[in-house]
């Protein structure tokens, strides 16, 4: 944990909490000599722990940055430092309370919102930008901050001559099948956070990430039962369970946003449906066999399921990658797509696929950094507002 804390102490102030530049590289280089952050996380844990279960317990979180313990650099031990040393936080009422709180603050500051209005295209001309909404409405803007996933905006909304190079070869995080279950009884076997590990731990990662298939064995998956902390999420005596199961990705979306249901001669909608059923069967089986939760399926009274197709269609996540771009070494820190567009002045990005990375703390930190950058670079806009 001392090693993990060192990675957090170096990584957060130099590569997360401030705009990245080459000025921060000397500190990181020094830490690299001491901490070996680039070797595989699993390999590093093997040297410290003989128990495969302990190795798994301290590396499962690599999934949250779109990697496996076998491909993630050891620098991501900082995730364990956050969880075990500093602790994690939960907003009472659910995470939508965070969004509602931000909405309230923005409205109090005079921000206007236009909901349910999809953008078809970002038009670039000089230093004046416009974005066309579905239906043909054209809006002009001095600055655009895109909070749709960066690859989607680049590949679908920007004219080709302005797009960043290399996104076609980008590495994406995993797909996810997410189950949201409302149950008519409580399941005390589950804590607020529970991780289920397959007896074939390495094989489960390999099938999804390398072979891009679900397989029929057990899965490594995450389960949340928020009512352990927040009773308001479900009626008394009931339970609200959320499960995340890693799954393969959809094929790349061609220019124009075609759903590509038959890409490569395969019926992808049918495959996604099979992933969902395989995931459901595997989760229910592990609930019963590993946690003694016999009868769980019969307790389900409400179910909502998100598959990679839902992540793609509802949230514009390229290939249905739930965590955006992966945090592999060539997409980490200074090598991750910058929040300020390199080819289009006054176009910015926030979200999982830009710096500093995915996860609510990093995304909110990135949004703050973008706001600071806009204020610093365009003081004329704010002087105009104060007149």
Q: Return the pLDDT at 342.
A: 93
Listed residue (107, 130, 132, 128) closest to 118, CA to CA:
132
Backbone torsion region of residue 210, taken as left when φ is above 0, otherwise alpha when ψ lies between -120 and 50, otherwise beta:
alpha
Q: Return the pLDDT at 222.
A: 95
Q: Return the pLDDT at 27.
A: 58
- CA-to-CA distance for 281 and 201, rounded, in angstroms? 18
- Which two tokens mark 38? 């680039």
Q: Return the pLDDT at 172.
A: 94
In this structure, are residues 199 and 218 in contact, taking their beta carbons and an 8 Å threshold? yes
In this structure, are residues 182 and 301 in contact, taking their beta carbons and an 8 Å threshold? yes
DSSP assignment of 295-336: THHHHEEEEEEE-HHHHHHHH--GGG-TT-B---GGGSGGGS
Interhelix angle 2-15/25-35, rounded to 10 degrees, is 170
- CA-to-CA distance for 276 and 17, rounded, in angstroms? 37
Q: Return the pLDDT at 256.
A: 47
- CA-to-CA distance for 154 and 137, rounded, in angstroms? 21
Q: Return the pLDDT at 136.
A: 85
Residue with tokens 């998100």: 306
Listed residue (246, 256, 266, 248) closest to 319, CA to CA:
248
Residue with tokens 């229910």: 284
Interhelix angle 379-386/360-377, rounded to 10 degrees, is 80
Q: Return the pLDDT at 261.
A: 64
Residue 166, strand partner residues: none
Q: Is 239 exposed, middle or buried (0-12, 13-18, 19+ CB in 10 A)?
A: buried
The angle subtended at Cα 68 by Cα 252 and Cα 194, nearest 5°, is 110
Dihedral sign of CA atoms 207, 208, 212, 213 in order = positive
Residue 171 Cα distances to 104, 236, 289, 325, angstroms: 36, 44, 35, 6
For the chain, the straight-line distance linking the first and the last C-alpha, in angstroms and rounded, comes to 53
pLDDT tens over the chain, length 387 residues: 666 666 666 666 666 656 655 555 555 555 555 555 678 889 888 988 899 988 998 888 888 887 899 998 888 777 777 787 778 889 999 999 999 999 999 999 999 999 988 899 999 987 667 788 888 888 999 999 999 999 999 999 999 999 998 888 899 999 999 999 999 999 999 999 999 999 899 999 999 999 999 877 678 999 999 999 999 999 999 999 999 999 999 998 765 445 556 666 789 999 999 999 999 999 999 999 999 999 999 999 999 999 999 999 999 999 999 999 998 888 888 889 999 999 999 999 999 999 998 888 889 999 999 999 999 999 998 875 555
């Amino acid at each position: 944990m001392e090693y993990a804390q060192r990675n957090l102490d170096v990584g957060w102030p130099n590569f997360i909490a401030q705009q990245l530049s080459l000025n921060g590289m000397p500190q990181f280089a020094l830490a690299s000599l001491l901490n070996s952050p680039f070797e595989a996380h699993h390999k590093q844990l093997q040297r410290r722990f003989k128990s495969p279960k302990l190795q798994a317990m301290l590396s499962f979180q690599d999934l949250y940055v779109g990697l496996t313990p076998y491909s993630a650099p050891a620098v991501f031990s900082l995730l364990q430092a956050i969880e075990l040393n500093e602790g994690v936080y939960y907003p009472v009422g659910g995470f939508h309370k965070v969004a509602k709180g931000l909405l309230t603050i923005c409205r109090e500051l005079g921000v206007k919102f236009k909901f349910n209005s999809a953008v078809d295209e970002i038009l670039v001309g000089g230093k004046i930008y416009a974005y066309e909404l579905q239906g043909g409405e054209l809006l002009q803007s001095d600055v655009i901050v895109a909070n749709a996933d960066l690859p989607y905006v680049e590949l679908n909304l920007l004219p080709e001559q302005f797009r960043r190079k290399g996104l076609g070869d980008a590495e994406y995080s995993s797909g996810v099948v997410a189950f949201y279950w409302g149950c008519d009884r409580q399941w005390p076997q589950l804590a607020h956070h529970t991780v289920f590990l397959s007896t074939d731990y390495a094989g489960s990662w390999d099938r999804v990430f390398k072979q891009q298939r679900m397989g029929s064995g057990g899965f490594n998956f995450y389960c949340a039962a928020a009512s352990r902390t927040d009773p308001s999420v479900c009626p008394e005596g009931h339970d609200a369970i959320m499960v995340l199961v890693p799954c393969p990705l959809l094929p790349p979306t061609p220019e124009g946003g075609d759903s590509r249901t038959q890409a490569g001669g395969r019926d992808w909608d049918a495959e996604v449906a099979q992933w969902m059923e395989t995931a459901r069967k595997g989760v229910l089986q592990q609930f019963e066999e590993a946690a003694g939760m016999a009868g769980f399926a019969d307790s389900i009274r409400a179910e909502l399921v998100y598959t990679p197709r839902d992540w793609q269609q509802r949230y514009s996540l390229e290939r249905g990658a739930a965590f955006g771009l992966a945090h592999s070494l060539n997409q980490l820190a200074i090598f991750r797509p910058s929040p300020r567009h390199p080819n289009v002045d006054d176009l910015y990005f926030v979200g999982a696929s830009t710096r500093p990375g995915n996860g609510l703390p990093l995304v909110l930190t990135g949004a703050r950094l973008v706001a600071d950058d806009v204020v610093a670079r365009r003081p004329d806009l704010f002087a105009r507002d104060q007149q």
